[in-house]
Structure 1
Amino acid sequence: MSDNFYLAIEGAIGVGKTTLARLLGRELGAELLLEVFEENPFLSDFYADRERYAFQTQIFFLLSRYRQQHRVIQQTLEQASLVSDYTFAKDRLFAELNLANDELHMYRRVHAIMAEKINLPNLVIYLRAGTDTLMERIALRDRSYERGMSRDYIDRLRVAYERFFSDYSDSPVLTIDTDNLNYIRDAEALAYVLGRVRSGLAEGEYQQPLPRPETAPDVAKSLRVAGKRRRLPDFQRWHRALDADKGFLTDLYFNYIALTEEMGELGRVLKKAWRAEKTLYEHRGNRQEARDRALQKQMPAIREELADLLAYVLKLSNYAGIDLEKAYLDKMQHNEDRTWET
């Protein structure tokens, strides 16, 4: 499998998708796929009379986006990584907002057929901003066909994006709040975004292969298949092979103590992040930005400690003879059926 990645950026009108796509393309050495919305002949009419021109505008966008993505993405990924300022999925978001009744029903049928043939991103960056911020940025760029865009429409679109990404599961999603983030003029802000993107790509759809225990090549080989969705039993089998190969102590209680020590390590890392967040918040006044920056700085350590915790949980499950995946699913089914007191 190629190591090239496909990164897509999403968010409401005016949030800064294209700007960030250009910056990330340059910084990550990736090709660009930018939406060609100016070619839609119905767009200016749509902003003047949305109800009358919604269907024509949406169908034109659907066909245009399909042609562009179906042709370009796979060809590009064979040679290079790709950054896009839109996803094919977002077309339906706009349709749900602007169409109704028979027009929406027809649109859904056509979109479903086309969507099956479109590559999914390895990571989607969802840029979030408040309505006031979006209106300011739209006014600042002063595109002629956007001048009549109402605040109410932008607010409805912002809410639609929030709902859309609240249950989006086609690709991993990295959410970045941009109200107080100027990655155009602030090098530190751009570095912050780049750090989160690189981390997100590393944790995306394709998992890195585990190290290979020499005593169990068949198990290791099954875990090294690129792009394969591994399950908890795979990891439990791998840990059994690793314990045998390395001669690790398999005492249940000893490893429980080791697990609690790893919990303490995670607690110390999170304490550092909490203190850093407090300091950043006092200086910048934005709680979410302060938290994101503090966590990003500690992210390598957090990832390492969480991985250690998972390893010990898998080992304990092995030593106790528990199928962890089945135990988890049984417990979640119990929780789902349970009546919770509030």
Structure 2
Amino acid sequence: MEGVIGVGKTTLVKILSRKYTMPTVLEVVEENPFLARFYEDMERWAFQTQLFFLISRFDQQSNVKKAASQGQGVVSDYAFIKDHLFASLNLKGEQFRLYEKIFNALKEQVLHPDLIVYLYADIDTLMNRIALRDRPFERRMDRTYISMLGDAYENYMKNVAESQVLRIDTSNIDFVRNPEDLKRVFERIEAIL
């Protein structure tokens, strides 16, 4: 599952996991000790925040690789490639060059997903969902940053070659409260797999 902050990735992963009885891999977000400071001063805390996410995601994806080697699938609320997308937006100069060296060494050891379900929504919907979940470190989330992330995801997902990408616009659907919306999401995923 991939998409901008607040689009519904984790929620849908949990629903899919229950339906198909598959284990989940959930991104470690709130455990990042630098994240709250990053949202207060992005330039100062970007590198530390990004390195924490990179190592955390790599550790999780190493477990995914082990599960796959035993014939077990998983449902994840992120793809490892996401890390590079965020780094390309948040890091500059020498920091980005150092990050890329580390990322490139690690990405060769990570499996590509069979399918990336790319969830997207308009900026008003995203900002509303972020406000509704009310995470303390997201309370001052910048609309411009979310818009920039949305644009970056759009460009990135158009160029994914290693995995199939299923695009689902979640702006006007509610797969949590509307069973028909959820059924259509399941049907679209099943049609590809």
TM-score computed with the length of structure 1 as normaliser: 0.55
CA distance in 2 between counterparts of 1:73 and 1:160 reads: 26
Q: Which runs of 4+ in 1 moved over 4 A?
A: none
Aligned residues: 192
Structure 2: runs of 5+ lacking an equivalent: none
CA distance in 1 between counterparts of 2:166 and 2:159 reads: 13
Q: Does 1:74 align with 2:65?
A: yes
Q: Does 1:139 align with 2:165?
A: no
Q: What SS class does the counterpart of residue 162 from structure 2 fall into?
A: coil
Look up the match of 1:89: 81
Identity of aligned residues (%): 48
CA distance in 1 between counterparts of 2:191 and 2:179 reads: 18
Q: What SS class does the counterpart of residue 44 from structure 1 fall into?
A: helix
Look up the match of 1:298: none
Q: What code does the residue aligned with 1:96 have? A: S
Q: What SS class does the counterpart of residue 78 from structure 2 fall into?
A: coil
Please list the CA deviations of residues 74-114 of structure 1 after superposition, one character each: whole Å capped at 9, or x if unmatched: 23232532100001100000000101111111111110010
Please list the CA deviations of residues 205-226 of structure 1 after superposition, one character each: whole Å capped at 9, or x if unmatched: xxxxxxxxxxxxxxxxxxxxxx
Structure 1: runs of 5+ lacking an equivalent: 1-8, 202-342
Please list the CA deviations of residues 268-314 of structure 1 after superposition, one character each: whole Å capped at 9, or x if unmatched: xxxxxxxxxxxxxxxxxxxxxxxxxxxxxxxxxxxxxxxxxxxxxxx
TM-score computed with the length of structure 2 as normaliser: 0.97
Q: Larger Cα Rg: Structure 1 or Structure 2?
A: 1
Match runs of 1:126-275 below 5 Å: 126-201=118-193
* C-alpha displacement of 1:67: 1.0
CA distance in 2 between counterparts of 1:150 and 1:66 reads: 28
Match runs of 1:32-47 below 5 Å: 32-47=24-39
RMSD: 0.9
CA distance in 2 between counterparts of 1:178 and 1:23 reads: 15
Q: Does 1:101 align with 2:98?
A: no
Higher helix proportion (structure 1 or 2): 1
Equivalent residue for 2:109, pick from 112, 117, 122: 117
Q: Which has the higher contact order (CA 8 A, sep 6+)?
A: 2
CA distance in 1 between counterparts of 2:18 and 2:150 reads: 28
Q: Is contact 1:129-1:177 (8 Å) kept?
A: yes
